[in-house]
Each structure stands twice: as structure tokens, then as C-alpha cells.
């Protein structure tokens, strides 16, 4: 039985990865940081929390002693570093904390592995945000970086630390440059979940309007369940490397809103431009989406689109779920949670949250 240590197990990817590794026969040690309000709901949704192969352990990425203690107590074969301050907007208001956690924290963990058991295989969660003001499209492993946020800068430090540990110490450190991946378990501050939740609530009359920032930003959105499989495959490869995981298609925030509202039974018509643009319900004529310039970022990443050819060729990884199905899954989950049924969904009884394993065999 292999043992894996996942940092940031309470987050979206942590929950999906823990479920995947348990389904593959691993013992999973899930690192969570102490807080006054614990967030174990994702692990509970995927039936991981009480699983006999799963164990929670207190761990803070910024504390080297904390990492040494976990490594020596549990002797993991694989470490997945998913912990981060991962919200780009918050990185502008908390740049130092973001650098400490998402940048220096990753290097601290790599050093803990190097100084304790350097044969441990490590996965570093790198990000398409590192491409930022993109130098080429689509982006792949050879595209130069140009981060546009303190988060992107911190992730770039962590990425190069991963590469450096691989080269300097011959450690097995894989870096996954992952494009946006979403799910019903996504944090509510991220735009897809914010939209899915609002589409459900607005259609049920529980919310009047949805306020969004830049409607025209485009992202390469995939399903988190598919992406955690890619993380695992990177650590099973014959040699450590850097891989892009993406779908190869890009969709604007406005187009994602169209998809989400349609799944909630509402067609949107867009009127106006810039900060005056609004989304109007085609049936009622009511404005349900509006722009709030306070949600614009100091620097924006306009368009991301990845080219995952290397992962497909060398890892046999291919995303299964496209953006339209993702939007449908996310909106269905919102209705499921409030105990309602969306009027227009033909298969309202479909289980709303897919586990990673079912996603890959579907």
C-alpha cells in the first residue's frame, strides 16, 4: 500500500485527489491548517472523511517543522503540494501572505523532502496564471512566462523551485501547469461557482442579480476530477517533468454565464457595452446580470488556452469533460443542494457530483 501526503486537502483539488488515490488503494494523509471554522465539507461530499484509508493531519505549509513532522511520522511515498493562497483577487490585497504560502511555502516543503527522504516523489501545483500576459497562444511547456498578479509571481517562484530541486538534487519533482479546473466543489469566490450558484438562486427567486467583473476574460475551463488524474500520472511517469494540463478550448465569462443560466432554465440576452453591459432574461425582460467595476482586477489575464499535447503523448492523459457539461454539472449540484429541480434539465436525476474515477470511465 502506497502512502500519499496531500497538502491543502480541504480545497477543491485536495478532495478530488484524496478520493482518487483512495480508489487506487493508497493510504492518504490529508494536511489541513488549523482554523476557527474547519472546511471538511468537500471531503464529506466525496465520502472520504470517514474512510479507513484516510487520515487528517494538522499541517501549515509555511512552517518547516510542520512538514518535517508529517514526513517523519507517515513516511509518504508521494507528496502532492496543493496548499496555496489560490485566489488571484486576494493576492492583490495580501501579496506578502500569498508569497509566503504559495511561493516560499512550496520551497520550504521541497527542502523538507530533500533533507528528510529525497526519494519521495513530489507534485507541485503550478498554474496557467504564470503565463499571464501571454506571449503565445495556445500555451504549452515552452511558452515564456509573464505573471500578472502576486499569485502568479508566487507560483512562478514555486515552479522554478520545483525545477531547481529536480535539476540540482536529482529529486523526482513534477510540476503541473494546470489551466482552470472547476467542479461543484469549487470555492464560491471563483467565477464559475459564483455564476452557477447565482443562476440557480435567481431562477428560484432567492437572488435578484449577479454582479460580475470582466465579462470578456477567457479561460480554458476543465473538470477538477479529470485534472487530479493527471497529477497522479505525473508521479507514475518514468522521469520527473513539467506538464501542461488543459482542454485546448477557451470560453469567456459571459459565455459561461450563458451556459449556466440556460441550465437553470433562463436564456440571457446581452445589452450595452463595457461597465454598462447587462444580461437580461429573455422571458421576463428582467436584468439578472450586471457589471461591477469594483470587481475588475488591477492587472488582468485576458485569455488563457492550453495545449496539453505533451501530457496526452507521454502520460496518456486526456480531459473527459467539456465546458458545457461542466456548467451543467455545476448548476445541477446547486439545485441538488437547495433541494429543487431546474425546470429545463432533462436528466434532473443525474448524480450532480461525479467522483474522479466515474468521470474518467464515463
Tell which one of 48, 66, 86, 242 touches ligand GDD (CB under 6 A): 86
Q: Is 332 in the site for ligand GDD (CB under 6 A)?
A: no
Does residue 213 contact residue 291 with C-beta atoms inside 8 Å?
A: yes
Of 34-93, which residues contact ligand NAP (CB under 6 A)? 35, 39, 59-62, 82-86
Q: Is 157 in the site for ligand GDD (CB under 6 A)?
A: no
Q: Is 112 in the site for ligand NAP (CB under 6 A)?
A: no
| Calpha distance 141→161 (Å, rounded) | 16
CA 51 to chain centre: 23
Q: How near is the Cβ of 139 to ligand NAP at its closest, in Å?
A: 12
**DSSP state string for 181-222:** EE-TTS-TTSHHHHHHHHHHHHHTTS-S-EEES-TT-EE--E
Q: Which of ligand GDD, ligand NAP, none is residue 39 near (CB under 5 to 8 Å by kind)?
A: ligand NAP
Q: Which stretch binds ligand GDD (CB under 6 A): 132-140, 187-195, 224-232, 267-275?
A: 187-195
Q: How near is the Cβ of 304 to ligand GDD at its closest, in Å?
A: 6
Instruction: Please give the grid coordinates belonging to residue 113.
Output: 523532502
Q: Which residues pair with 210 in a beta bridge?
A: 289
Of 190-229, which residues contact ligand GDD (CB under 6 A)? 190-191, 194, 212-214, 217, 219
| Calpha distance 289→195 (Å, rounded) | 10
| Calpha distance 265→328 (Å, rounded) | 11
Which residue, 187 or 248, has its beta carbon nearer to ligand NAP? 187
Would you say how long the chain is, in residues? Answer: 362
| Calpha distance 8→14 (Å, rounded) | 6
Binding-site residue total for ligand GDD (CB under 6 A)?
A: 23
H-run or E-run covering 260: helix 253-263
Which residue, 3 or 180, has its beta carbon nearer to ligand NAP? 180
Tell which one of 3, 81, 180, 183 touches ligand GDD (CB under 6 A): 180
How many helices (H) and strands (E) the chain has is answered by 13, 15
Which residue, 158 or 202, has its beta carbon nearer to ligand NAP? 158
Specify the residue for cell string 519521495. Answer: 120
Contact pattern from residue 163 through residue 192 relative to ligand NAP, giving x for each residue in contact according to CB under 6 A and a dash for the rest? ---------------x-xx-----x-----
Assess whether the previous peptide bond of 150 is cis (omega < 30° from 0). no
Tell which one of 136, 189, 341, 343 touches ligand GDD (CB under 6 A): 189
Question: Quick one: DSSP state of residue 179?
Answer: P
Give the interface with ligand GDD as residue ranges (CB under 6 A). Answer: 86, 88-89, 127-129, 179-180, 189-191, 194, 212-214, 217, 219, 253, 295, 297, 300-301, 304
Give the interface with ligand NAP as residue ranges (CB under 6 A). Answer: 7-8, 10-14, 33, 35, 39, 59-62, 82-86, 101, 105, 125, 127, 178, 180-181, 187
Amino acid at each position: 500500500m502506497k502512502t500519499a501526503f496531500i497538502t491543502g486537502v480541504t480545497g477543491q483539488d485536495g478532495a478530488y485527489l484524496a478520493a482518487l488515490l483512495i480508489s487506487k488503494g493508497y493510504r492518504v494523509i490529508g494536511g489541513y491548517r488549523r482554523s476557527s471554522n474547519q472546511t471538511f465539507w468537500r471531503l464529506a461530499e466525496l465520502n472520504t472523511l470517514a474512510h479507513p484509508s484516510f487520515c487528517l493531519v494538522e499541517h501549515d505549509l509555511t512552517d518547516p517543522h510542520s512538514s518535517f513532522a508529517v514526513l517523519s511520522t507517515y513516511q509518504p511515498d508521494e507528496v502532492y503540494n496543493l496548499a496555496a493562497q489560490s485566489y488571484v483577487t486576494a493576492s492583490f490585497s495580501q501579496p506578502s501572505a500569498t508569497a509566503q504560502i504559495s511561493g516560499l511555502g512550496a520551497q520550504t516543503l521541497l527542502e523538507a523532502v530533500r533533507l528528510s527522504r529525497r526519494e519521495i516523489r513530489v507534485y507541485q501545483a503550478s498554474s496557467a496564471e504564470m503565463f499571464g500576459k501571454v506571449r503565445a497562444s495556445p500555451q504549452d511547456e515552452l511558452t515564456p512566462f509573464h505573471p500578472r498578479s502576486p499569485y502568479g509571481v508566487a507560483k512562478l517562484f514555486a515552479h522554478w523551485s520545483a525545477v531547481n530541486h529536480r535539476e540540482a538534487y536529482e529529486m523526482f519533482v513534477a510540476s503541473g501547469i494546470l489551466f482552470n479546473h472547476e467542479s461543484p466543489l469549487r470555492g464560491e469566490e471563483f467565477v464559475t461557482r459564483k455564476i452557477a450558484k447565482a443562476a440557480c438562486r435567481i431562477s428560484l427567486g432567492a437572488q435578484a442579480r449577479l454582479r460580475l467583473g470582466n465579462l470578456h476574460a477567457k479561460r480554458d475551463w476543465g473538470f477538477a476530477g479529470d485534472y487530479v488524474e493527471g497529477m497522479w500520472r505525473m508521479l507514475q511517469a518514468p522521469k520527473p517533468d513539467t506538464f501542461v494540463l488543459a482542454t485546448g478550448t477557451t470560453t469567456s465569462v459571459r459565455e459561461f454565464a450563458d451556459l449556466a443560466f440556460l441550465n437553470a432554465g433562463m436564456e440571457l440576452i446581452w445589452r450595452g457595452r463595457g461597465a454598462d453591459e447587462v444580461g437580461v432574461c429573455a422571458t421576463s425582460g428582467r436584468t439578472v446580470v450586471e457589471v461591477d467595476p469594483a470587481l475588475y482586477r488591477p492587472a488582468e489575464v485576458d485569455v488563457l488556452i492550453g495545449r496539453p499535447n505533451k501530457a496526452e503523448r507521454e502520460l496518456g492523459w486526456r480531459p473527459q469533460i467539456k465546458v458545457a457539461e461542466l456548467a451543467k454539472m455545476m448548476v445541477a449540484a446547486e439545485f441538488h443542494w437547495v433541494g429543487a429541480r431546474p425546470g429545463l434539465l432533462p436528466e434532473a436525476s443525474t448524480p450532480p457530483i461525479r467522483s474522479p474515477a466515474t468521470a474518467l470511465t464515463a
